[in-house]
C-alpha cells in the first residue's frame, strides 16, 4: 500500500480533530479534500512534483488548528439543528399519543376513583410544559436553520439546548411516573396495555433526545477546545 500524501494526511488529521454527525462530517471532509486536490492539480500543471504540489495546496488551505474551528462550528450547528428538529417533532408526538389513548381506550372507572385531587392539574401542567418544549424545539430549529446567520453565538445556544434536554427529560419522566402511580397504583400502567405501549415509545424517544443532546454538548466542547488551542506555524511556499 502506497504511503499517504500530504493531502491524505491533512484530511486524516482534520477528521481526528472534528466531532459531529457522521454524514455531515464526511461531506465536509470530502469537500475539503476535493478543494485540496483541485489546488494540487493546478500546481502540478505549473510543473511541480505531485508531493510538492500537495504540500503547497495544504499550506494555502491553512493548518488544521486554523481551519478546524470553523469546520467544527458548522458541524455543531448541524447537530443542534437535528436535535431541535427531534425535539420539535417527538415531544408533541408523545403528548398527542397520550391524549389519543385516553380517548380511544378509556380506563376503568376504578382508575378515576383512586386519583388524588392534584392529578388533573398536574396532568394539564405536564401537557402545557410538553407543548412549550415543542415550541422551543421549533424556535431552535428556525434559529439553527435559515436564521443561523442572525444568531450571534449559536454554539452557546446549542449547548444550552443540550443542557435543557438533559433537565427536562428526567423531569418529565418523574412527573409521568408520579401520574402513573397516582392513577393505577404501585403497578403503574401494567394493568393498562395501551399505557404500556405508549410508555415504551415515549421512553425510546426520550432516550433518543438524551443521545442527541449529549452529542450537542460533545460538539460544543470540541468548538471550545479547538478555539483555545494555539495554532501551528503555517507552511510557506518558500
One domain for residues 57 and 165: no
One domain for residues 102 and 216: yes
Structural domain for 132, as ranges? 77-227
Digit-by-digit pLDDT tens for the chain (238 residues) are 356 789 999 999 999 999 999 999 999 999 999 999 999 999 999 989 999 999 999 999 999 999 999 999 999 999 999 999 999 999 888 888 888 877 766 665 555 566 788 888 898 898 889 889 999 999 999 988 877 777 888 999 999 999 999 999 999 989 988 887 777 665 555 566 677 788 889 999 999 999 999 999 999 999 999 888 655 444 333 3
The number of C-alpha atoms within 13 Å of 162 and in the hemisphere containing its C-beta is: 23
Instruction: Specify burial of residue 42 (Cβ count, 10 A radius: 0-12, 13-18, 19+).
Output: middle
One domain for residues 84 and 159: yes
- The C-alpha cell of 177 is what? 411516573
One domain for residues 139 and 217: yes
One domain for residues 161 and 48: no
What does pTM read for this prediction? 0.84
One domain for residues 142 and 85: yes
Within a domain: 69: no
Q: What are the φ/ψ torsions at residue 5 (nearest 5 degrees)?
A: -85, 180
| Exposure class string for 220-232: b at 16+ Cβ within 10 A, else e | bebbeebeeeeee
- The C-alpha cell of 77 is what? 450547528
One domain for residues 50 and 94: no
Tally of domains in the chain: 2
Within a domain: 189: yes
Amino acid at each position: 500500500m502506497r504511503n499517504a500524501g500530504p493531502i491524505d494526511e491533512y484530511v486524516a488529521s482534520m477528521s481526528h480533530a472534528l466531532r459531529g454527525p457522521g454524514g455531515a462530517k464526511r461531506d465536509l471532509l470530502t469537500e475539503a479534500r476535493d478543494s485540496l486536490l483541485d489546488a494540487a492539480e493546478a500546481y502540478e500543471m505549473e510543473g511541480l512534483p505531485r508531493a510538492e504540489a500537495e504540500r503547497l495546496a495544504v499550506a494555502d488551505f491553512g493548518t488544521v488548528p486554523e481551519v478546524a474551528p470553523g469546520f467544527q462550528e458548522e458541524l455543531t450547528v448541524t447537530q443542534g439543528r437535528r436535535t431541535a428538529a427531534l425535539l420539535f417533532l417527538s415531544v408533541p408526538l408523545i403528548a398527542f399519543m397520550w391524549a389519543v389513548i385516553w380517548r380511544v381506550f378509556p380506563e376503568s372507572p376504578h382508575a378515576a376513583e383512586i386519583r388524588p385531587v392534584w392529578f388533573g392539574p398536574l396532568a394539564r401542567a405536564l401537557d402545557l410544559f410538553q407543548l412549550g418544549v415543542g415550541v422551543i424545539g421549533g424556535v431552535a430549529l428556525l434559529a439553527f436553520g435559515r436564521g443561523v446567520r442572525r444568531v450571534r453565538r449559536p454554539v452557546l445556544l446549542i449547548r444550552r439546548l443540550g443542557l435543557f434536554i438533559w433537565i427536562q427529560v428526567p423531569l418529565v419522566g418523574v412527573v409521568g411516573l408520579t401520574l402513573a402511580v397516582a392513577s393505577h397504583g404501585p403497578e403503574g400502567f401494567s394493568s393498562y396495555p395501551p399505557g404500556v405501549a405508549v410508555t415504551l415509545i415515549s421512553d425510546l424517544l426520550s432516550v433518543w433526545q438524551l443521545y442527541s443532546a449529549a452529542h450537542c454538548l460533545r460538539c460544543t466542547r470540541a468548538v471550545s477546545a479547538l478555539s483555545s488551542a494555539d495554532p501551528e506555524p503555517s507552511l510557506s511556499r518558500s
